[in-house]
Amino acid sequence: MSVFKRRFTVKKPGSWERRQGGRFANLTFPPDLQSRVRRLEEEARLLLEVINITNLIEADIIVGEIYSKLIAMPAEELGRPNVDPPTVVDHDNLTLYSFTVNTDRMTVKFPPPHDYAGGPLGFNVVWTNDGGVDDLNRRVRWELNYQVCSEDEVVSGNHANSPKLVDGLYESNLGWVEQHTGFMEIAEADFLGKECVYVRLRAVTPINPPLTCEPHLIGVCLRYNALRIPV
């Protein structure tokens, strides 16, 4: 297998960094060349969009395996906005967020994972109640809105294929029991070639019977197909 060393690193459009003798030297192109550099960067980005990493593995161009990767994101690591934030609830060994239905929200933004290997991005919600013992077989519903973009694109609004919805069922007559929803998936076609994914999570009106209290968020899990390359 051929190994190619990276000699240039893109710092910003029209400005590259080149490694020389163990040191880095900044190279800023004159204005008449910057447009060419931008075109080359765009062509490279478009080329990456059409490369299917699964096909490269099957053709033995890349040696590795694809597996399902799950990343846990505790509630406190998500973005709690200034407008309509959920209420912080500290309970024993963890921090939760209590959601007023149809109002409160949390956000998270991230680039497509560096080891992403095709397929959807899936999100499930880990949640519980307020400690009450009267929520057996009662329901919640979570809503995931999202937008995707790259540099110089509008970040406001929602993607045409959002929102995604998932229902949750409280399956215990005890309080503070951890519950997991199914996965809400963002299709690969919705974010392919984009540089950032913006996600907003809310609790919305569920089907009957609803939870007797506000849903309490423990965290969110992100699932995607990842590439593992043996060392």
On whether both 77 and 12 belong to a single domain, the answer is no
Residue predicted with more confidence, 39 or 18: 39
The pLDDT mean for the chain works out to: 85
What CATH number is attached to the domain comprising 86?
A: 2.60.120.260
On whether both 24 and 133 belong to a single domain, the answer is no
Residues 146-181 have pLDDT tens digits of 999 999 999 999 999 999 999 999 999 999 999 999
What is the domain extent for residue 30? 8-50
3-state SS, the chain, equals CCCCCCCEEEEECCEEEEEECCEEEEEECCHHHHHHHHHHHHHHHHHHHHCCHHHHHHCCCCCCEEEEEEEEEEHHHCECCCCCCCEEEEECCEEEEECCCCCCEEEEEECCCCCECCCCEEEEEEEECCCCCCCCCCEEEEEEEEEEECCCCCCCCCCCCCCEEEEEECCCCCCCCCEECCCEEECHHHHCCCCEEEEEEEEECCCCCECCCCCEEEEEEEEEEEEECCC
Q: Is 30 inside any structural domain?
A: yes
On whether both 104 and 210 belong to a single domain, the answer is yes
On whether both 41 and 80 belong to a single domain, the answer is no
The tally of domains found in the chain comes to: 2
On whether both 23 and 82 belong to a single domain, the answer is no
Predicted local distance difference test score (pLDDT) of residue 231: 61
On whether both 23 and 137 belong to a single domain, the answer is no
Predicted local distance difference test score (pLDDT) of residue 18: 46
Residue 23 confidence (pLDDT) above 50: no
Residue predicted with more confidence, 19 or 28: 28
On whether both 31 and 126 belong to a single domain, the answer is no
